[in-house]
Amino acid sequence: MLLFLFAFLLLAACQSVINPIKTEELRAINKSGIQLIDVRTPEEFAEYHIEGAKNIDVFSEDFEEQIQQLDKNEPVYVYCRSGKRSNDAAQKMQKMGFKQIYDLQGGILEWEKMMQE
């Protein structure tokens, strides 16, 4: 029984985790060199995006192919308009083996609001 519990805890520790991140926390991070992914459409991205972000539309046919080009062992920060699509993207990325995924709470809407303050 103890061996089973140890194996379960070890397996759980190896799983990736989706972490919510607040706009203030993301703002405090030096965005040069981080994997910051905007999962909205290219049109939305062109309209406004966080500096340093790469656009990979979660609903594009080649989303998984494009995401596979990222480093799974480094933190990845994802955002969308309000949080639903980035959560969908984070779930897919978790299944693909990404270790640290940070999902921006409130998405670009909260980011814009913070930037206007």
Q: CA angle 106-72-44, nearest 5°?
A: 35
Run of H or E including 101: strand 100-104
Task: Catalytic residue, from 26, 58, 80, 104: name it.
Answer: 80
Active site residue 80: yes
Distance of alpha carbon 19 from alpha carbon 22, whole angstroms? 10
Burial of 52 (0-12, 13-18, 19+ CB in 10 A): middle
Catalytic residues: 80
